[in-house]
Structure 1
Amino acid sequence: MQWKDDFAHNQRITDMKQSFQDNVCIVTWKWPEGIQFVYVYGFEADAEIAPDQRDLQSMRLFTREEYKANRGYRARLDTIGRYAFRVYACERADGRMVVFKQQDEENIIRFSTGKARIWYSIKYGRAFFSKRKPVRIELNSEVYVAKEALCYVKKEGAFPLNKDDGTAYPFIHDVNPGRNTLPEIEINKNDQIKLFFTDGKKYGEIYELIPE
């Protein structure tokens, strides 16, 4: 296989679309005239590897005949979060595949495969003769979650409305699949705590926080 930087504008892949049918992802695109082969590269949306550094096994050679027979490119995805496919037109020359290195927004489709659920509970201990009370946070996650994704926010007198509505504290440990219990903390008697994503737009597309 050989990458080719210089190719005609009408040899580009365009009009990428994606849908789900019975848990199978279907990707379609507009084929350039005369092109009979493409390479399909699937990857987590924020982890694309540059073409020159990419393992050939990470891409699949796909023919126009297969596309017609299957009415698109079909893949069963066992992942949760943001995913993407990039499609490259290619042609056979001198016994090997020459792949047109198209790196724009026309030959890529990004989408969500669904949200992983994170259930959580916040339990307050009693503090009859103290100005402070113990707090225990427990989480039950469907998947591994990096500690950078979550924080808890403390506010005096009321529950915080968002991660900026109080004092935010980062998680110090990653969250593993299954039940996780954070180290017990102490807060002032009138304080309340709630969990939030550190970046709601980024992590809210991947995970769902659900109070138990």
Structure 2
Amino acid sequence: MQFMNADADPSAPRIRKLTLAVDDGRCSLRWLWPEQLEAVYVERVELNQVNDDRESEDHSGESSYRGHQQLSSHTQGKLKLYTREEYKANNGYADRITGFGAIQYTVYACLMQEDGPVLIRQQDEENQGIASAGKADIRFAIRYKRSFFQKRKTVLMTVTAEVPVPKEALCYVRKQGGVPLNKEDGTVYPFVSDFAPGKNEMPPVEVAKDDYVRLFFTDGPKYGAAYRLISD
């Protein structure tokens, strides 16, 4: 199975106007079919489970999409063949979603060639959509410990998560003179380990006596679709 960039062939079929609707644990997808297309592949990716290898693979492969690119085994396991007849019979495509997180769906036009299926990769993203399977709560508490005559103080952070949370999802921001309002409002620091379900006590952090700390998502649109960050 291969990928082909639609921009390399203006006559390649494209999926248009993909829409998603979530109701009672089911996600319904509908789109406009090109006249000559008889089948597509639907890809489901749970965004909060995308790893760094996948992301680096996508970025490093951008230039090669002008031609054909072999489909990785990681991606192939997420794909499902779906025909035009099935679409008509079911009035779209339906998928059951449970648990927490955001799910990205991509519908690839599929051309059957002698050496196997070729999937059309679109740059316009009209064939993509994101559905929410529900958000998991991440609660955090921050306490400050300081002796009266000391010029510095200790920050004690506690993170309580409903589900496992990757360390890349969160960061803490330190600001002088007041509590940070957003991730850009101070100095950003990463966490060094993932968060297990339940209560996670962070190692103490020493800061200046007029510094303040707050937790934020490293990428609001991405992780905000999967989690709620709540200050206790």
TM-score by length of 2: 0.71
Count of residues in correspondence between the two structures:
209
Answer whether contact 1:16 1:107 (CA < 8 A) is retained: yes
Whether 1:52 aligns to 2:70 is: yes
User: Cα distance 1:10–1:196, how it changes in 2: closer, same or farther (>3 A)?
Assistant: closer
1:80 CA drift (Å): 0.7
Which residue is equivalent to 2:159? 139
**Are 1:38 and 2:40 counterparts?**
yes
* Percent identity for Structure 1 against Structure 2: 40
Query: Mapping of 1:1-212 within 5 angstroms?
Result: 9=11, 11-33=13-35, 35-44=37-46, 47=54, 52-55=70-73, 56-78=76-98, 80-90=101-111, 99-104=117-122, 105=124, 108-113=127-132, 114-212=134-232
Q: CA deviation at 1:135?
A: 2.3
Higher helix fraction (1 or 2): 2
Q: Cα deviation per residue 1:28-59 (whole Å; 9 max; x = unaligned)?
A: 11223354433222224565878622345532
Shift of residue 68, structure 1, vs aligned partner: 2.1
Matched residue, 2:65: none
Cα pair 1:152 1:169 within 8 Å, conserved: yes
CA pair 24-183 structure 1, distance change in 2 beyond 3 A = same
Structural RMSD (CA)? 3.3
Distance 1:61 1:135, change over 3 A: same
Give 1:24 shift. 0.8
Q: Matches of 2:3 and 2:211 in 1, distance apart?
A: 60
Report if aligned partners of 1:154, 1:191 keep a CA contact under 8 Å in 2. Answer: yes
Which structure has the larger Rg over C-alpha atoms?
A: 1
Task: Please state how far the C-alpha of 1:161 moved relative to its aligned partner.
Answer: 1.9
Q: Aligned partners of 2:97, 2:197: CA distance in 1, in Å?
A: 19
The CA distance in 2 between the partners of 1:7 and 1:190, in whole Å, is 60
Task: Report the CA distance shift for 1:171/1:52 in structure 2 as closer, same or farther (over 3 A).
Answer: same
Paired with 2:77 and 2:179, the residues of 1 have a C-alpha distance of 50
Check 1:110–1:192 CA distance in 2 against 1; reply closer, same or farther (3 A cut): same
Question: Once the 2 structures are TM-superposed, how far is the Cα of residue 183 of structure 1 from its aligned partner?
Answer: 0.8
- Counterpart Cα distance in 1 of 2:148 and 2:215: 26
